[in-house]
């Protein structure tokens, strides 16, 4: 019996000892679990809380070491966001929690609102470290951009490319100032600042509208121009819609903007302006407004339009007789045939394909030939000189006579100077050696 009692006592003590160990272990585990000891909303200016992720830490539904925390975005995903070239993948930090272990966690949301959760932010409160670092979402270009200080207008007034309170995704919940710029086509906008999106590199201007201050804001650089748009001009003038008389097909439109202080345009003046805006390759159909316009009125007010009938020009070449002229050359030389390829080039030039009967001044012809490269050129022969060079002639435009396109009475004169070049493939006048 004593033996049984001793065994019972030993078993009881053993059980008691195990229970004590279990109690101590449970207490230690409870003491080691992380818990939040500080929570606060971040109240500093939002622009100072723009961050980008480093890809070192995952995103959780609550501080990662707190019981019940679920992974919102893996480290792999965060690495992709860290390497992103899109402003939409920047984040805004807006809440902070600190655990009893001294770890700081920030609640962040991506600029496009796709990702939201807690991320490890280091050991120092109100400083970004660990999984996030401070980000500069835009780069100031005001000091160097030449457009700052200039007056601009909306390029294509409408719903696209309007003004914003910040370039899209460079600030959390950046929003449009207006839904459409259509009603502000004539507004003068002053560029007062410039910046690029740091990741994309796209350029934006801050424009101020003195007439409508509420729409002042950031706008994509190509959405403004130094010239008024056709829409703006149309609102302040008359739009000519040119229609092919034979087919009834619209060829093009052009806008004549009224001069400052002008409220209306008389019929005769409208006809004069229409003639000056006729599309290339066409001629106004009638001799006056009554026979050219689809409808007429005594005067045209701002933002009016009119149909103007036109006819296509005949595609005829200028009947130009090209002569080589130089008083210092003998008869044989002065009768040299003009290069056929140059003759062909000139006759195929669209400048000379005009309506029959259209006149051109000598000055017009000369100016065009100079601009087209036919003012001076070198023609190389296959005749070799003793020194290994080749005989060549440099042609230089001397003069042209007034002529009528489509006729055969316009003459262009060139001087021809004999010389040499070192290669038969040379065409540059700089390689020509006279004499």
pLDDT in tens, 81-93: 999 999 999 999 9
Instruction: Tell me: do 339 and 398 sit in the same domain.
Output: yes
Instruction: Tell me: do 120 and 159 sit in the same domain.
Output: no
Give the pLDDT band of residue 426 (cuts 50, 70, 90): low
Note the pLDDT of residue 192.
98
Has residue 214 been placed in a domain? yes
pLDDT, mean of residues 325-351: 57
Backbone angles phi, psi at 155, to 5 degrees: -65, -55
Cα separation, 120 vs 110, in Å, equals 16
pLDDT, mean of residues 405-419: 68
pLDDT, mean of residues 309-320: 64
Instruction: Tell me: do 178 and 125 sit in the same domain.
Output: no
307-310-315 Cα angle (round to 5): 160
**Final residue belonging to a domain, choices 214, 230, 246:** 230
What are the structure tokens assigned to 22, written together? 């279990």
- What average pLDDT does the structure give for the chain? 83
**Final residue belonging to a domain, choices 190, 213, 230:** 230
Instruction: Tell me: do 272 and 307 sit in the same domain.
Output: yes
Cα separation, 240 vs 230, in Å, equals 12
Instruction: Tell me: do 205 and 218 sit in the same domain.
Output: yes
Structurally, the chain folds into a number of domains equal to 4
Query: Which range in 91-95, 159-163, 285-289, 330-334 is most confidently predicted, on average pLDDT?
Result: 91-95
Question: Is the model's pLDDT at 265 over the cut of 80?
Answer: yes
Instruction: Tell me: do 333 and 421 sit in the same domain.
Output: yes
Instruction: Tell me: do 328 and 424 sit in the same domain.
Output: yes
Question: Is the model's pLDDT at 195 over the cut of 80?
Answer: yes
| Range(s) of the domain holding residue 301 | 236-312
The model carries a pTM of 0.55
Of 119 and 344, the structure prediction assigns the larger pLDDT to 119
Has residue 73 been placed in a domain? yes
Note the pLDDT of residue 59.
98
Note the pLDDT of residue 391.
85
Positive or negative torsion for Cα 62, 64, 70, 74? positive
CATH code of the domain covering residue 304: 3.10.20
* 415 Cα distance to chain centroid: 47
Q: What is the per-residue pLDDT across 210-252, written as a single tens digit (0 to 9) for each?
A: 999 999 999 999 999 998 777 777 788 899 999 999 899 999 9
Question: Is the model's pLDDT at 71 over the cut of 90?
Answer: yes
Note the pLDDT of residue 36.
96
Has residue 194 been placed in a domain? yes
Q: Cβ atoms within 10 A of the Cβ of 190, count?
A: 16
Cα separation, 101 vs 125, in Å, equals 13
pLDDT, mean of residues 257-262: 83
Instruction: Tell me: do 333 and 376 sit in the same domain.
Output: yes
pLDDT, mean of residues 135-139: 97
Has residue 90 been placed in a domain? yes
Instruction: Tell me: do 341 and 394 sit in the same domain.
Output: yes
């Amino acid at each position: 019996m004593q033996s049984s009692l001793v065994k019972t006592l030993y078993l009881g003590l053993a059980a008691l000892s195990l229970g004590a160990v279990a109690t101590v272990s449970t207490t230690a585990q409870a003491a080691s679990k992380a818990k939040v000891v500080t929570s606060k909303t971040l109240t500093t200016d939002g622009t100072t809380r723009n961050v980008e992720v480093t890809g070192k830490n995952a995103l959780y539904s609550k501080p990662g070491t707190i019981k019940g925390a679920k992974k919102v975005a893996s480290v792999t995903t965060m690495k992709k966001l860290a390497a992103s070239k899109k402003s939409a993948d920047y984040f805004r930090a807006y809440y902070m929690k600190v655990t009893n272990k001294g770890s700081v966690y920030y609640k962040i949301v991506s600029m496009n609102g796709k990702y939201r959760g807690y991320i490890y932010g280091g050991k120092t409160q109100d400083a970004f470290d660990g999984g996030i670092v401070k980000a500069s979402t835009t780069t100031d270009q005001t000091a160097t951009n030449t457009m700052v200080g200039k007056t601009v207008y909306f390029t294509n007034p409408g719903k696209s490319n309007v003004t914003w309170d910040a370039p899209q995704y460079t600030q959390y919940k950046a929003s449009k100032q207006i839904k459409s710029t259509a009603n502000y086509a004539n507004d003068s906008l002053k560029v007062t600042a410039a910046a690029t999106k740091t990741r994309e590199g796209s350029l934006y201007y801050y424009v101020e509208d003195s007439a409508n201050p509420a729409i002042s804001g950031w706008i994509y650089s190509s959405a403004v121009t130094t010239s008024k748009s056709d829409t703006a001009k149309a609102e302040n003038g008359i739009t000519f819609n040119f229609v092919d008389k034979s087919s009834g097909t619209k060829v093009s439109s052009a806008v004549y903007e009224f001069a400052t202080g002008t409220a209306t345009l008389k019929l005769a003046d409208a006809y004069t302006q229409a003639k000056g805006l006729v599309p290339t390759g066409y001629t106004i159909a009638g001799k006056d407004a009554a026979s050219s316009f689809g409808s007429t009125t005594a005067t045209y007010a701002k933002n009016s339009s009119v149909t103007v009938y036109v006819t296509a020009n005949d595609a005829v070449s200028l009947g130009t007789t090209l002569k080589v002229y130089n008083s210092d050359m003998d008869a044989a030389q002065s009768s040299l045939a003009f290069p056929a390829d140059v003759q062909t080039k000139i006759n195929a030039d669209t400048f000379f394909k005009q309506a029959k009967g259209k006149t051109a001044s000598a000055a017009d012809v000369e100016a065009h030939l100079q601009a087209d490269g036919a003012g001076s050129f070198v023609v190389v022969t296959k005749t070799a000189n003793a020194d290994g060079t080749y005989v060549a002639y440099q042609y230089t435009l001397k003069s042209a006579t007034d002529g009528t396109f489509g006729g055969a009475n316009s003459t262009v004169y060139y001087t021809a100077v004999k010389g040499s070049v070192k290669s038969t493939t040379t065409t540059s006048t700089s390689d020509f050696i006279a004499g």
